[in-house]
Amino acid sequence: MTALLEVTDLRVLLHTGRQPVRAVDGLSLAIHPGETFALLGESGSGKSITALSIMRLLPDAGEIVHGSVRLNGDELLTLPESAMRKVRGNRIGMIFQEPMLSLNPVMTTGAQIGEVLLQHSGLRGAALQARILELMRQVGIPDPARRMAEYPFQFSGGMKQRVMIAMALAGKPELLIADEPTTALDVTIQAQVLDLMRDLQQQANMAVLLITHDLGVVAEMAHRVAVMYAGQIIETADRERFFQSPAHPYSHKLFAALPTRKKRDQGLIVIPGNVPALSKVFTGCRFADRCDRAWEKCHQITPPWVETAPQHHVRCHLYSDDSTERSPQSRLQSLSRTARSAPDNLPLSSHTSDSTQSKPLLRVDDLKIHFPVHKGLFKRVAGHVKAVDGVSLQIDGGRTLALVGESGCGKTTVGKGIMQLIPVTSGSVRLQDKELRDLDRKQLLQKRSAFQIIFQDPYSSLNPRMRIVEIIEEGIRALGRNSDKIATNEKNQHDVDTLLIQVGLPAEAKWRYPHEFSGGQRQRIAIARALAVDPQLLICDEPTSALDVSVQAQILNLLKTLQQERKLAYLLITHNIAVVDYLADEVAVMYLGRIVESGRTEEVLDDPKHPYTQALLSAVPTYEPGSQREIIRLQGEPPSPANVPPGCHFHPRCSHVMPICREVYPAVSRFSASHTTYCHLYHSVSQEPQDLQ
């Protein structure tokens, strides 16, 4: 079969310093019609630059110095820009990694989707509006008729990503380049989007270049897999063979870094060091400095491509025919044993220790956050968006509560309400038994160092005009941590260096600006900034969503270590169930502004009671070979918080709905001292679910 996309010996330089950065160095790949080709690798390995090179959207500092990119035989690198504009969005669609940077802040979301359709489909008037609505429905945006008139800042991170996906699919492209397409999405919408991509792929025989760090998504979507490291592809294989027997030591480390419940009582395996600077000239294997199976040859000679099995190639000296070292099989068996055992210096689980506090560190009671909806010439209040509608929770010192649910359910709004970053309609927020709502601005500033937040979008939360050292020092100075200026400057410099090293960045990175970092690196900077003032409570809004699995392991180990050392409490807002299973002590499941189920992590994940929780967990992709899952498909779309359905909020999408569900919101049902749910299927702790017939 003739390949749809052929990339041959692609070499890309970034002129950002004294020495050019070899961001992509000799990359070759081929993708056939109807095939999904997954590209894996750490942040900074060159995955996104590869995608931008194919689209010819490199920044001004980027230059393609060698290679060929052919789409159905047409050489894209020699096309004039006017012809290339007809390719983008039409023959090739792209879902960008950071939607906030890719969406125009002064255009409505509907207009931005319509712009693609106007350019490539010729639709106008009612037909154009109907197609926009259809695309927004396809990607799961609730109340699309209203939301198409809203702007990107009015959407959550997950909602913005869905708009990006709708724009990429609008032109029905031959090739879809998906750069972390489901990073900001919860698992139910992720399953819906992946199904949508598969359906469109089958209908149009569309090829997909999938750039992701989620091995579960790769296992579910990919036909072939390539692992990229330091500007080069180091392993390629079909999906089944890659997951059954990964060959390269780096691939083994990626699997070992994945969080699971079995690893709760130990730290995750972390790949030492960082991706090497791509401005240097490499003389051997690029992974050698981080590989615990490297020997002298690895540092001196570039490894050749070796075929270990049909269609399975690896760039590693372990498989060289002239190797005088131990056999590849014995070496990789040893490597696997190393990956399965945790190093002695990694942290113990926070789950083994009980809170020493008699009172919870944070207590939230009946929190409500309603936003008025203004209509008419005089902007009268015509209703309210009930983003948070009666949430109660508590967190003890040294414990982690995970808040999970679909995008738009109010998780992030809860975090901002606790931080007093947005007005709270009613309810109580008590930190260390102090009511935060009673504090004036000055008192709240004095209390601010006790609780910090890591925002979901690291780029938007970092000042682009400030260097990293200034960003991290800003909070320390603002909260008056020290009074002696000279001592403060010296101590702050040392503290900044220590924090950057802790989160996996070199100390010299402090002199750079946010735009000089990858998405994952920016998230690490955001975490370092939050930790700079020694908080007792850290609200983590998707803290690892922008990170690949190896860096995620490093951050999770860091969070767990800090929790033990400082008795830090975490409110973990996430859609990554594997992270919840590894890090959280308790889980609260949120739907349309309310918590519908809560309990200890093992109670909720092993024996979910609420139909929504069951659907949520069924949609979690798995990477384990031979594992099977049956996804519970939810009916319809999430209702709008501006038009909450009567009775149980979930009843329009529930397959177990009964007449009472449409009329009365369910009371709490308790299954243990900690496990509760709000569902009419249950009467009390002792009773089984009601007869659904």
Q: 630 or 625: whose pLDDT is higher?
A: 630
Asked if the model's pLDDT at residue 324 lies above 70, the reply is no
Angle at 282 between CA 280 and CA 286, to 5 degrees: 110
Give pLDDT, residue 321: 64
Position 373 scores a pLDDT of 86
Please provide residue 110's backbone torsions phi and psi, each rounded to the nearest 5 degrees. Answer: -65, -40
Share of the chain above pLDDT 70, in %: 89
What pLDDT sits at residue 480? 60
What is the predicted pLDDT for the residue at 534?
A: 85
Band of pLDDT at residue 355, cut at 50, 70 and 90: very low
pLDDT, greater one: 484 or 39: 39
SS (H, E, C) 492-555: HHHHHHHHHHHCCCCHHHHHCCHHHCCHHHHHHHHHHHHHCCCCCEEEEECCCCCCCHHHHHHH
Residues β-bridged to residue 24: 12
State the average pLDDT for the chain. 85
Q: Could you give the percent of the chain with pLDDT greater than 90?
A: 50
pLDDT at 176 over 60: yes
Segment 257-279, tens digit of pLDDT: 889 888 888 888 888 877 888 88
pLDDT score for 625? 60
The answer to whether 175 and 94 are in contact (CB under 8 A) is no
Side chain identity at residue 532, one-letter code: A
Mean local confidence (pLDDT), 446-456: 87
Region 340-353: mean pLDDT is 44
Q: Is the pLDDT of residue 340 over 50?
A: no
| Confidence check: pLDDT of 692 > 90 | no
What is the rounded average pLDDT of the residues 548-577? Answer: 85
Q: What is the pLDDT of residues 244-253, one digit of tens each?
A: 999 999 999 9
pLDDT tens digits, 478-516: 776 554 444 456 666 778 888 888 777 888 889 999 988
What does R_g of the chain's alpha carbons equal in angstroms?
26
Q: What pTM was computed for the model?
A: 0.79
Q: What is the pLDDT of residue 609?
A: 95
- Please check whether residue 208 is in contact with residue 54, taking contact to mean a CB–CB distance below 8 angstroms: no
Q: Is the pLDDT of residue 98 over 80?
A: no
| pLDDT tens column, 116-163 | 999 888 889 999 999 999 999 888 788 899 999 999 988 876 778 789
Question: 16: Cβ–Cβ under 8 A, 6 or more apart, which residues?
Answer: 61, 516
Would you tell me the crossing angle of helices 157-169 and 125-138 to the nearest 10 degrees?
A: 130
Q: What is the pLDDT of residues 6-34, one digit of tens each?
A: 999 999 999 987 889 999 999 999 999 99
**What are the start-end ranges of the H helices in 150-210?**
157-169, 187-204
pLDDT in tens, 379-412: 888 888 999 999 999 999 999 999 998 878 899 9
Residue 569 above 90 pLDDT?
yes
Round to whole Å and give the CA distance between 441 and 4: 59
Looking at mean pLDDT, say which of 501-505, 579-583, 636-640 comes out highest: 579-583
CB atoms within 10 A of CB 653: 20
Average pLDDT over residues 289-316: 92
Helix (H) or strand (E) holding 486: helix 485-502
